[in-house]
Structure 1
Amino acid sequence: MFDSNNGLWIAHCPDGPLSITGKMANRHGLIAGATGTGKTVTLQVMAETFCQAGVPCFMADMKGDLSGISQPGRLSGFIEKRMPEFGISEAKFQSCPVRFFDVFGEQGHPMRCTISRMGPQLLSRILGLNDTQEGVLNILFRIADERGLLLIDIKDLRSMLNYVSEHAAEYTAVYGNIAQASIGAIQRSLLTLENEGAGSFFGEPSFEISDLLATEGGKGVMNVLAADKLMLKPRVYSTFLLWLLSELYSTLPEVGDMELPKLVFFFDEAHMLFEGTGKALTDKIEQVIRLIRSKGVGVYFITQSPTDIPESILGQLGNRVQHALRAYTPKDQKAVKVAAETFRANPAFNTADTIMNLGTGEALVSFLDEKGAPSMVQQAKILFPLSQIGAIDESQRSQLVKESRIFGKYDKAVDRESAFEVLLAEKEQQLKEEEAQAREEEEMQTRNSRKGSKGSSSVLGKVAKAIFTAVTATVATSVGNAVSEKVSGKGKSSGSKTTKGKSTRSSGTSKVVKNATTAATRTLTREITRSILGNLVK
């Protein structure tokens, strides 16, 4: 609850209100406690307090409960009982302006990022690549940049991997060795990321960070990310978180400690962020969190135990609210001890014992003072939220999405020409050129074959003609001799040699010889030619 007297009022102890100092709100914070102890309500109280002060917030909503911040609350017996304890005579229930987002685009406006905007360094850490594989990824980005190829979504990155693999020999001389094993490792890591749903995250329109810094009617807009499905895909969740924080850090100017932060982040179920996260990724998160406060951004983690957060990050969380913890095992007792040791001790009570005996809605609270030093831990009761506790229904959510000022800006995906389309067109053009060349070679072979056939026919014709001439002469000579012998013999036996008779006989003989020669020549020539041509064709 925000008012002029108490500022960012969050809790109340016997000594009075406990408030977050505005200048120290960007020094980050932690809300911890066992399931059912009131962490989500504490988050809601903090968020709406910042909202009333004009500070926009971003909240990862793991269970859907935070959507109720969009509706005014109602008076209940529990609230009515707490009002006198807090010195509140009248509860002014009110809602907060809300924008719903969803990486998968199902329960709110989609939040997308392009491969190019993420960059090779952050992407390699998300994919879990080693130094060699990261080097290959850097080469890929360099080649895409030199060729003017846009890397927007996963299919663009996969197309570039295939292209670099096919042309590795020509690029190795310029950029160094491009091992096929490294490309294969990147492709496998990319497939794993895609199977976790990252295909919905990479694309356009890319989300503009400035849309998180909006105010409406003097109140900060509550940007609520639907994360009930996202929590099942920790790799995509880590991807989203790192990109968003890195984008904020690279976009926002240095402002130092302002009267109030520009933006406050709440990440529910924060332990999921660090489960299975490699050291390189943890180091990157630590670096961003340490530096982003100078941009006027505060980050608050919500988890069951402080031990869920790496010590290097836990040490940077100055504003703390610790709800009850249960200690049934030695491991639980150790967690309680660690939680107690993170507070500045209060001689009035034993911190570790108190943590195990806190009631619902009660917490140990320690905020940073004006000088940035942690205040002495206090046992307090968290204020009740002025907005609705619990989730809204789907029809209310859908209506709020449609009424949002950014409705239509991100809701429809755009798939413009990028590396995938350009490389595919080049591949198709290459195939067409290869097919055209193959057809041309085939046609050339066909023409050469036809010329050869025509030449062979000409030669065979000449051979046949020569054979015909030779055979004709031979047959004519043979038949002429035979007829002459026959005629000569017949004349000697008759004993008559008249000129007229001789002339008649000669004329008849010539005709007989000519007819016989022609018939015999045709038959013989035909048979011989057929035989020769048949052998030649074979």
Structure 2
Amino acid sequence: MSDSDSTGGGAGAGADGGTTAGAGASPGVLPQQAREIADGYAVDGAALELGALLWGGVCLPGAQIRIPLAMLNRHGLVAGATGTGKTKTLQLIAEELSANGVPVFLADIKGDVSGIAAPGAPGGKVAERAAQVGQEWEGRGFPCAFYALGGIGPGIPLRATVTSFGPVLLSKVLRLNQTQEQSLGLIFHYADTKGLDLVDLKDLRAVVAFLVSDTGRTELKGIGGLSTATAGVILRSLTAFEQQGAADFFGEPEFDTAEFLRQAPDGRGLVSVLELAAVQDKPQLFSTFLMWLLADLFHDLPEVGDLDRPKLVFFFDEAHLLFNGASKPFLESITQTVRLIRSKGVGIFFVTQTPRDVPGDVLAQLGNRVQHALRAFTPDDAKALRATAKTFPNSPYDLEELLTGLGIGEAVVTVLSEQGAPTPVAATRLRAPQSLMGPFPAAELDAAVKGSSVYGRYAQAVDRESAYEKLTAEHEAEQRTTADEAAAGTAAKGGRSGKRPKAAEDDASLVEQVVGSGMFRSLARSVGTQLGREISRSLFGTARRRR
């Protein structure tokens, strides 16, 4: 059976590491300290039901642990070692949110979250867990939409244009250094101001090639220029990136992240499941793409302040991949996005193995914590355990002992109360998800994808005229003019009648192809204010050209 439906261990070590006061108390009687903890989770408004308090090795169904729905935009963290039940906790929280009318975004990296669309199967362990925590369990499926990056794998294709993805996130994916990232920013700035749409990667290559050509190198001279060496690094990185299959993720039709904010006809929140199993070997790409989705939401959504329930809760799985190797400015942008997106009605849950994977400035923004068991097999593990225990509020538990003794489907919880204050630390036995704890049947997944109301909007890729096509067309026009002049015996070229110049025949690279092009000079003269207007970019340099 899956993680959450296991009975789990007998967590409940008390203060000073000894037996908790009230150990052995019957589930119907709450010891004084347990009652004080339970009182901290009393809620007047709508709330998510997580499970029941564990005290002295006993599960107390009369002491329910909840998260106030209005506090979900204060963000959260779900952490724990492999196999402790994190995935089922995500599934449980997503179900509760959907049932309360809140849309959810989930990244399904291993392919086992998709079962949220189908009813769970009743069984002995599920019934046992439900009885332990006081849960009225009934198998239920929840409304889902399935997506896939670039259409790789089952799901509605998610694509972004290079223009909207922006230089900051693209630099992170290409692993550029700070100087190269700044140069890429200049390239985007130039394309923005000249009205050149960077739809896919070949558009970006064409503009880079032009800007280091004899004709184009003066275009950026006044704002720092672009060195041939830096351009070479960018072009090589783009080529390697494409060889990994990344070209599929960039293009049109570009996905509108407002699709994530929908509700089902019955009023339940839509669960958007991004299937990543087919690209789990490209962690840098999918973690950065998740950040683009979040940044795009931040860019588009209006300020709404505090709501009685969030507009969307976004689960950022494998969060450590986003922060690994990130530059200081990149981390600052993440921190600012997390801090500010709260007022736009969006809650974010980072999911990882240990809180140490999340930078301190980001961790400080996460008001809701669900910490599954940690392991302490090595000195480094023991150090991480002590550091994690210190991040929780004071409690009657010996947290270091408790965190290593939790069973599967059990966690240490602290959230924000309806007044915005941290609740007491509570060892919790979590409820069992009501949906299928495993992959959605493959035979039904394709039909579910194609039956979506938005499938036709994004299924077919479109390759319209953009920077590459404009440059190529102008170059070919110039080549024809040159050939005509040569055929007429133009003295300056000295060409042979009826033959194209040898240089045109020997063009082998994109850089050589655009050298000498007058495309940008003509664009500068002819482009109107609507196309020539610079794009306004967000904290991450993301943008969407408004037409």
Q: Relative contact order: is structure 1 or structure 2 higher (C-alpha 8 Å, sep ≥ 6)?
A: 2
Aligned mates of 2:79, 2:422 — CA distance in 1: 17
User: Are 1:185 and 2:236 matched, yes or no?
Assistant: no
Q: Hey, what does 1:26 align to over in structure 2?
A: 73
Q: Hey, what does 2:535 align to over in structure 1?
A: none
Name which of 93, 110, 117 aligns with 2:139. 93
Q: How many Å apart are 1:267 and its aligned residue?
A: 2.0
Aligned residues: 444
Q: Hey, what does 2:52 align to over in structure 1?
A: 12
Q: For 1:150, what is the secondary structure of its paired residue?
A: coil
Name which of 197, 206, 216 aligns with 1:168. 216
Q: Hey, what does 2:98 align to over in structure 1?
A: 51
Amino acid paired to 1:256: G
CA distances 1:188-246 after superposition (whole Å, capped 9, x unpaired): 33334334443121110001011000000110000001112333212212331221111
Aligned mates of 2:495, 2:202 — CA distance in 1: 43
- Residue 59 and residue 215 in structure 1: after superposition, are their counterparts in 2 closer, same or farther (change >3 A)? same
Aligned mates of 2:495, 2:212 — CA distance in 1: 38
Aligned mates of 2:250, 2:138 — CA distance in 1: 42
- Residue 198 and residue 286 in structure 1: after superposition, are their counterparts in 2 closer, same or farther (change >3 A)? farther
Matches within 5 A, 1:244-263: 244-263=293-312
- Residue 352 and residue 405 in structure 1: after superposition, are their counterparts in 2 closer, same or farther (change >3 A)? same
CA contact (8 A) 2:168 2:330 kept: no
Q: How many Å apart are 1:128 and its aligned residue?
A: 4.4
Q: How many Å apart are 1:279 and its aligned residue?
A: 2.9
Deviates more, 1:137-146 or 1:428-437: 137-146
Deviates more, 1:282-291 or 1:137-146: 137-146
Q: For 1:65, what is the secondary structure of its paired residue?
A: coil
Aligned mates of 2:80, 2:51 — CA distance in 1: 16
Q: Hey, what does 2:532 align to over in structure 1?
A: none
Matches within 5 A, 1:119-130: 119-130=166-177
CA contact (8 A) 1:193 1:236 kept: no
Name which of 225, 229, 248 aligns with 1:200. 248
Amino acid paired to 2:50: I
Q: How does the TM-score come out when normalised to structure 2?
A: 0.77
Q: Hey, what does 1:490 align to over in structure 2?
A: none
Q: Hey, what does 2:434 align to over in structure 1?
A: 386
Name which of 122, 132, 149 aligns with 1:103. 149
Q: Hey, what does 2:423 align to over in structure 1?
A: 375
CA distances 1:448-485 after superposition (whole Å, capped 9, x unpaired): xxxxxxxxxxxxxxxxxxxxxxxxxxxxxxxxxxxxxx
Amino acid paired to 1:79: V
Q: How many Å apart are 1:357 and its aligned residue?
A: 0.7
- Residue 66 and residue 4 in structure 1: after superposition, are their counterparts in 2 closer, same or farther (change >3 A)? farther
* Structure 1 residue runs without a partner (length 5+): 448-538
Deviates more, 1:205-214 or 1:159-168: 159-168
- Residue 358 and residue 190 in structure 1: after superposition, are their counterparts in 2 closer, same or farther (change >3 A)? same
Aligned mates of 2:298, 2:193 — CA distance in 1: 27
> Which is richer in helix?
1
Q: How does the TM-score come out when normalised to structure 1?
A: 0.78
CA distances 1:384-420 after superposition (whole Å, capped 9, x unpaired): 1111111122211111101111111111100001111
Deviates more, 1:425-434 or 1:144-153: 144-153
CA contact (8 A) 1:116 1:150 kept: yes
Q: Which runs of 4+ in 1 moved over 6 A?
A: 3-6, 442-447
CA contact (8 A) 1:103 1:111 kept: yes
CA contact (8 A) 2:487 2:495 kept: no
Q: For 1:9, what is the secondary structure of its paired residue?
A: strand
Aligned mates of 1:73, 1:5 — CA distance in 2: 28
CA distances 1:49-88 after superposition (whole Å, capped 9, x unpaired): 0000000000011111100000011211111112222234
Q: Hey, what does 2:198 align to over in structure 1?
A: 151
Aligned mates of 1:246, 1:421 — CA distance in 2: 29
CA contact (8 A) 2:85 2:408 kept: yes
Q: Hey, what does 1:454 align to over in structure 2?
A: none
Q: For 1:55, what is the secondary structure of its paired residue?
A: coil
Q: Hey, what does 1:323 align to over in structure 2?
A: 372
Name which of 44, 55, 66 aligns with 2:113. 66
* Structure 2 residue runs without a partner (length 5+): 1-42, 54-59, 497-547
Q: How many Å apart are 1:24 and its aligned residue?
A: 1.0
Q: Hey, what does 2:395 align to over in structure 1?
A: 346
Deviates more, 1:102-111 or 1:264-273: 264-273
CA contact (8 A) 2:288 2:322 kept: no
Q: How many Å apart are 1:138 and its aligned residue?
A: 3.9
Amino acid paired to 1:38: G
- Residue 145 and residue 282 in structure 1: after superposition, are their counterparts in 2 closer, same or farther (change >3 A)? closer
Rg (Cα) greater in structure: 1
Q: For 1:441, what is the secondary structure of its paired residue?
A: coil
Amino acid paired to 2:365: Q
Aligned mates of 1:248, 1:6 — CA distance in 2: 25
- Residue 82 and residue 234 in structure 1: after superposition, are their counterparts in 2 closer, same or farther (change >3 A)? closer
CA contact (8 A) 1:168 1:178 kept: no
CA contact (8 A) 2:87 2:113 kept: yes
CA contact (8 A) 1:323 1:355 kept: yes
